[in-house]
């Protein structure tokens, strides 16, 4: 059997689900409640919803989404700054990855600014934005660096390229974030009970298994895994087994992609261009050493240095529960606006916009499932 078929094979999936249900029933007996596992990564949230795993396992396990959707955790103030960049002048182009365009800020979004005449463009890679700047020297191109350790190396490479080619009309607004510090904040929150983590595949390919060794101090079994249904099921099975056997290791279940030390070349690209700094996350506030800023040698390509913007006092949309959903305290159906005042056509918060957002995934694949209660 070829690998891809194995990861999607229905016979293997059935056997895994049966084993998970047996193990989870034992865990429930021991805990007096269903075990709560958090999928940290937004791509896992979507994969779990699309494959119907929450429905198949919901009576046995509580699967919670975490802070792993990069667009969703981008803070209100940063979205407002992006809108202000788009309004700077008719000679400005704001370049971004697709999902960011529709995220509502306090009084507008990039999509709305584009409809009113601003030049907001979707680039499929930061290198395309550098190319666009080189081809259009009369325009100021501001690229929005959004995402975790996964996208940051490509943005770093583009910044180095623009610097080396002396492309003076290119700059980047950096909102990149680091996943492990946000997990540490979650673990220190007494209002959240998580029994195990399903760890991201893409981020882990860059940072490596070792980057999660801090989890072992919390006695939480955790598994790095891929995105096919059987990858995720096998990770859940392993976490349950570790729980029941009193083990709390961080297991690399995605060894076809993830190495112990991660991708050293990508890490070096980031270190060349970025320094670690405090960063503001939607729902979390400021998390120490969880973001990136440009190193001194690249400050001339930092959009916040090049353009002075007035301070922004963001307005949080009333009733939106994105912050608590990103912390795993609520699920999308707990938000009173879900599928009523907020849906993918009229999103109130980013979790309904992003292709990796929990609300969008629940809306598309799970809105007819019966309710699952919040973490006690
Ligand atoms: Fe925010 Fe909409 Fe999700 Fe509610 S349903 S948390 S308003 S994005």
CA of 331 to the centre of ligand 1 (A): 10
Per residue in 106-136, pLDDT tens? 889 999 999 999 999 999 999 999 999 999 9
Per residue in 333-344, pLDDT tens? 999 999 999 999
Per residue in 151-181, pLDDT tens? 999 999 999 999 999 999 999 999 999 999 9
CA of 376 to the centre of ligand 1 (A): 21
Q: What is the mean pLDDT of the chain?
A: 93
Q: What is the mean pLDDT of residues 194-219?
A: 94
On whether the CB atoms of residues 360 and 352 are closer than 8 A, the answer is yes
Atom of ligand 1 nearest to the CA of 363: 5
On whether the CB atoms of residues 332 and 358 are closer than 8 A, the answer is yes
CA of 323 to the centre of ligand 1 (A): 9
CA of 265 to the centre of ligand 1 (A): 38
Atom of ligand 1 nearest to the CA of 338: 5
Q: Return phi, psi of residue 352, to 5°.
A: -95, -10
Residue 372 pLDDT greater than 80, yes or no: no
Provide, rounded to the nearest whole percent, the portion of the chain with pLDDT above 90: 86
Atom of ligand 1 nearest to the CA of 319: 7
| Ligand 1 pocket mutation pick from 324, 337, 345, 354 by most atoms within 8 angstroms of CB | 337
Contacts of 293 (CB under 8 A, 6+ apart): 174, 274, 275, 276, 277, 302
pLDDT for residue 373: 38
Q: What are the strands of the beta sheet with 196-199, ordered from one edge?
A: 61-68, 35-41, 196-199, 222-224, 250-252
What are the tokens at 329? 């305290």
Report the alpha-carbon distance of residue 235 to residue 231 in Å, rounded. 6
Q: Radius of gyration over alpha carbons of the chain, in Å?
A: 21
- Which residue is it, tokens 């601003």? 118
Distance from chain centroid for Cα 73: 7
pLDDT for residue 191: 82
Report the alpha-carbon distance of residue 153 to residue 171 in Å, rounded. 16
Instruction: List residues bridging with 33 in a β-sheet.
Output: none
CA of 362 to the centre of ligand 1 (A): 11
pLDDT for residue 4: 60
In the structure, what pLDDT confidence band is assigned to residue 375 with cuts at 50, 70 and 90? very low
Atom of ligand 1 nearest to the CA of 342: 2
Pocket of ligand 1 (CB under 6 A): 320-322, 325, 332, 335, 337-338, 342, 347-349, 351-352, 359
Atom of ligand 1 nearest to the CA of 351: 8
CA distances (Å), origin 80, targets 113, 156, 169: 11, 23, 22
Of the candidates 226, 288, 285, the residue with the CA atom closest to the CA atom of residue 258: 226
Cβ-based burial of 370 (10 A; exposed 0-12, middle 13-18, buried ≥19): exposed
Q: How many CB atoms lie within 10 A of CB 193?
A: 16
Residue 265 pLDDT greater than 80, yes or no: yes
Per residue in 76-90, pLDDT tens? 999 999 999 999 999
pLDDT for residue 316: 81
Q: Return phi, psi of residue 142, to 5°.
A: -110, 115
Contacts of 6 (CB under 8 A, 6+ apart): 12, 230
Report the alpha-carbon distance of residue 127 to residue 135 in Å, rounded. 12
Residue 368 pLDDT greater than 90, yes or no: no
Nearest CA to ligand 1 atom 3: 359
pLDDT for residue 190: 87
What are the tokens at 265? 């070349």
In the structure, what pLDDT confidence band is assigned to residue 209 with cuts at 50, 70 and 90? very high
CA of 351 to the centre of ligand 1 (A): 6
CA of 332 to the centre of ligand 1 (A): 7
What are the tokens at 71? 């667009």
In the structure, what pLDDT confidence band is assigned to residue 376 with cuts at 50, 70 and 90? very low
On whether the CB atoms of residues 234 and 256 are closer than 8 A, the answer is no
CA of 315 to the centre of ligand 1 (A): 15
CA of 343 to the centre of ligand 1 (A): 8
Q: What three-state secondary structure class fits 171?
A: strand
Give me the torsion for CA of 96, 97, 102, 108, rounded to 10°. Answer: -20
Q: What is the mean pLDDT of residues 58-65?
A: 95
| Lowest-confidence segment of 2-16, 100-114, 349-363 by average pLDDT | 2-16
Question: Which one has a higher pLDDT value, 1 or 232?
Answer: 232
| Ligand 1 pocket mutation pick from 69, 352, 355, 360 by most atoms within 8 angstroms of CB | 352
Nearest CA to ligand 1 atom 7: 320
Residue 1 pLDDT greater than 70, yes or no: no
Of the candidates 366, 360, 365, 361, the residue with the CA atom closest to the CA atom of residue 102: 360
Q: What is the mean pLDDT of residues 39-55?
A: 95
Q: Strands (DSSP E) along the chain, which ranges?
A: 35-41, 61-68, 92-96, 119-122, 140-145, 170-174, 196-199, 222-224, 250-252, 274-281, 285-294
Atom of ligand 1 nearest to the CA of 350: 8
* DSSP letter assigned to residue 362: I
pLDDT for residue 308: 86
């Amino acid at each position: 059997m070829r690998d891809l078929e194995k990861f999607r094979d229905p016979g293997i999936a059935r056997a895994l689900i049966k084993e998970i249900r047996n193990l989870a029933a034992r865990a429930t007996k021991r805990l007096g409640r269903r075990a709560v596992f958090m999928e940290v990564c937004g791509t896992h949230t979507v994969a779990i919803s699309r494959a119907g795993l929450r429905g198949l396992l919901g009576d046995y396990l509580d699967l919670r989404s975490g802070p792993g959707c990069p667009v969703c955790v981008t803070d209100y103030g940063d979205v407002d700054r992006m809108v202000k960049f788009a309004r700077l002048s008719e000679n400005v182009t704001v370049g971004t990855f697709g999902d960011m365009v529709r995220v509502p800020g306090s009084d507008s979004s990039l999509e709305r600014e584009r409809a009113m005449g601003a030049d907001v463009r979707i680039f499929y890679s930061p290198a395309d934005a550098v190319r666009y700047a080189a081809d259009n020297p009369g325009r100021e191109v501001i690229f929005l660096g959004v995402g975790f350790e996964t996208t940051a190396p490509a943005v770093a490479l583009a910044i180095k390229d623009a610097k080396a080619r002396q492309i003076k009309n290119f700059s980047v607004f950096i909102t990149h974030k680091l996943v492990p510090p946000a997990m540490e904040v979650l673990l220190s929150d007494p209002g959240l009970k998580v029994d195990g983590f399903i760890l991201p595949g893409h981020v882990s390919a860059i940072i490596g298994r070792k980057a999660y060794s801090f989890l072992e101090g919390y006695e939480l079994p955790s598994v790095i895994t891929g995105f096919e249904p059987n990858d995720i099921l096998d990770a859940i099975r392993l976490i349950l087994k570790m729980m029941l056997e009193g083990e709390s290791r961080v297991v690399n279940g995605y060894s076809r992609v993830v190495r112990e030390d991660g991708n050293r070349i990508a890490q070096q690209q980031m270190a060349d261009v970025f320094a670690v700094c405090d960063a503001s996350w939607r729902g979390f506030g400021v998390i120490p050493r969880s973001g990136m800023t440009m190193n001194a040698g690249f400050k001339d390509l930092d959009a916040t240095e090049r353009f002075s913007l007035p301070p922004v006092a963001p307005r949080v949309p009333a009733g939106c529960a994105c912050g608590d959903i990103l912390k795993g305290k609520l699920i999308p159906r707990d938000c009173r606006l879900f599928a009523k005042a907020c849906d993918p056509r009229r999103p109130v918060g980013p979790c309904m916009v992003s292709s990796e957002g929990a609300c969008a995934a629940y809306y598309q694949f799970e809105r007819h499932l019966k309710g699952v209660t919040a973490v006690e």
